[in-house]
Structure 1
Amino acid sequence: MIKKTLYFGNPAYLSLRMGQMVIKLPEVESNPDLPERMKQESEVTKPIEDIGIVILDNKRITITQGLLEALLENNCAVITCDSHSMPVGLMLPLYGNSTQNERFREQLDSSLPLRKQLWQQTIKAKIDNQAAVLSLYTGVSTKVLERLSADVRSGDPENAEGRAAAYYWKNIFSNIPNLSDFTRDRNGMPPNNLLNYGYAILRAVVARALVSSGMLPTLGIHHHNRYNAYCLADDIMEPYRPYVDELVVSIIKEFGRADLQLSKEVKFRLLGIPTIDVVINGKRSPLMVAVTQTTASLYKCFTGELRRIAYPIRLDA
């Protein structure tokens, strides 16, 4: 079952009652111009077990400890946003699997050659998906990316990922007015803001799946930033990034402008990332479900049951 993503951008009081999230809107309840019946109907409940991600994007949101406990016990990711509506914090459960200690040990004991091989697979899958998206939205040749994908070695010592990224970002928006000279920069001009927001949602989905599979999202197979609590999530999300890029391209085309801000309409589209259709193991699947297959296969690679991580491919790749 696809878990729901709940976004709160207005003042709200969120609590727990009988296994349900209770949503109250104080601005509605305190409005003297609204009829009493409408005020009573403004209270909404959602089953906790149906929720996968909660996004809190307003300084006047109150959430009770009881609700937080229930959300985390059901492996829900809770994201908090800053004053610019950008995700700035992520809360995950400390445990998500009944054999977690054993799974931690398998992950911690994984050899350097294995991690390098897994990174090789990850980068090849990412470049392949970048090539497919580039082919779909531009007339640019993808032979450069195809060659780089074929040449990726264990651990990617020649940095094929970086070279592929330089070519990819130079061309992905080439058919869109005012974006022919786009530079991917976290603090750069739009649509960097849309990409940042989409990647933050994707990161939460992947981190949640890693915890559910009983692994430490901090201990990466490649990323090792001492200040990053989600190195493994940043590793595993790489082949999924092109799906976010594709969505951003389609949003720009839909709205007919490149300098989009994070309006409610744009955020609504980006919040659909967990439900994007992907193909994994030869079958169509929502992205959120596919990520759980990816993280489950990663654990089996650590145990020696599998030799390859299950990553998605573009539908028309």
Structure 2
Amino acid sequence: MAWRTVVVTKHSKLNYKMNHLVVQTSEKTYQIPMEDIQIILITTTQAVVTAYVIAETIKRNIKIIFSDINGQPIGEINQYHTNGKHNRNISQQIVWTAQRKNLLWREIVKRKIENQSQLLLSHQTIDKEKFQALIDGVEIGDITNREAVAARMHFNRLFGTEFVRHEAGIVNAMLDYGYQILMAAVAREIVLQGYLSELGIHHNGAQNDYNLASDLMEPFRPLIDGVAKKYEQETELTLEIKLALVDSVNQVIEINGKQMLVTNAITILVRDAINYLNDGSKLPEWRFEI
């Protein structure tokens, strides 16, 4: 199973040779087996990528993500044909019932809040009873928006009461960068399973190509928050921080009593969610230890 995220940070040329990605820089040449690669993240505009590399990554379902001149992810390459049952799966996806989507969204929100509370507990900044009350109060479809309430409480306890999401600053820069990487990993898995990331269960932005990925990534967001907490005193989004954010999808967590890489946990969550939405008999109940 592919597990590596290759990060290209400097002037280089990317070639393909004998089932290997070949990255040539002015100092050194790197060769990485294509079968090991899950994502290629190009964080510089000084990299040259051959058409051969692009064609091979598309065939192998390796996601290439490109960054702008400021190093922020701005786009990726997707293939025309993915899963062999793509058309049948989309037909199923279109008729997913509102009841199942709302029940699944309640479970996702509860797991997200639970994982936020775990992170806060590790920093000894949690009001455990308040977060448990939020978890217990999540209704079908989260119609009272307990997710947003928990997010405000979470960020204010983790980064201080003055912190405001989406304002300028190093913490928000880290969160934005990390969430983009996480969303790409979830979107890749959705496409591999033959479904459209555009059609979500809760997110429904008309111009959001990743509505379903935005839904299913939610329980994993605290992993990015934890990395941002570690570097919150820094003043700029350095290469070291970017690599730490990228590597968050390669760390080991526990899900349903089994330890595994985050990428494998994403596979399980996406698979379970889609099985349930396709008339599966049991609502997934994920248990995380992050």
- The answer to whether TM tops 0.5 is yes
Select 1:303's aligned residue among 272, 278, 290: 278
Cα distance in 2 for partners of 1:81, 1:22 equals 20
Select 1:160's aligned residue among 126, 146, 153: 146
SS of residue paired to 1:52: strand
Select 1:188's aligned residue among 137, 161, 168: 168
Cα distance in 2 for partners of 1:306, 1:290 equals 21
Native 8 Å contact 1:205 1:288 kept in 2: yes
SS of residue paired to 1:191: helix
Q: Give the corresponding residue for 2:226.
A: 246
Q: Give the corresponding residue for 1:53.
A: 39
Q: Give the corresponding residue for 1:207.
A: 187
Native 8 Å contact 1:293 1:310 kept in 2: no
- Identity across aligned pairs (percent)? 27
Map 1:1-317 onto structure 2 (within 5 A): 1-25=1-25, 27-28=26-27, 42-174=28-160, 180-185=161-166, 187-252=167-232, 258-309=233-284, 311=286, 313-315=288-290
Gaps of 5+ in 1: 29-41, 175-179, 253-257
Native 8 Å contact 1:195 1:245 kept in 2: yes
SS of residue paired to 2:183: helix
| TM-score after normalising by structure 1 | 0.87
Native 8 Å contact 2:117 2:126 kept in 1: no
Q: Write the letter of the residue equivalent to 1:16.
A: Y
* Greater C-alpha radius of gyration: 1
1:153 Cα deviation after fit: 0.8
| TM-score after normalising by structure 2 | 0.94
1:125 Cα deviation after fit: 0.7
Q: What CA deviation, in whole Å up to 9, does each residue of 1:107-147 have, x standing for no partner?
A: 11111111111111111111111111112113331222211
SS of residue paired to 1:122: helix
Q: 1:310 to 1:12 in 2, by over 3 A?
A: farther
Native 8 Å contact 2:170 2:237 kept in 1: no
Q: Write the letter of the residue equivalent to 1:108.
A: I
Cα distance in 2 for partners of 1:170, 1:156 equals 21
Cα distance in 2 for partners of 1:79, 1:306 equals 36
1:296 Cα deviation after fit: 1.0
Q: 1:92 to 1:311 in 2, by over 3 A?
A: farther
Q: 1:128 to 1:225 in 2, by over 3 A?
A: same
User: RMSD across aligned C-alpha pairs, in angstroms?
Assistant: 1.6
Cα distance in 2 for partners of 1:306, 1:45 equals 46
Q: 1:120 to 1:98 in 2, by over 3 A?
A: same
Native 8 Å contact 1:219 1:232 kept in 2: yes
Give aligned pairs, total: 290
1:285 Cα deviation after fit: 0.8
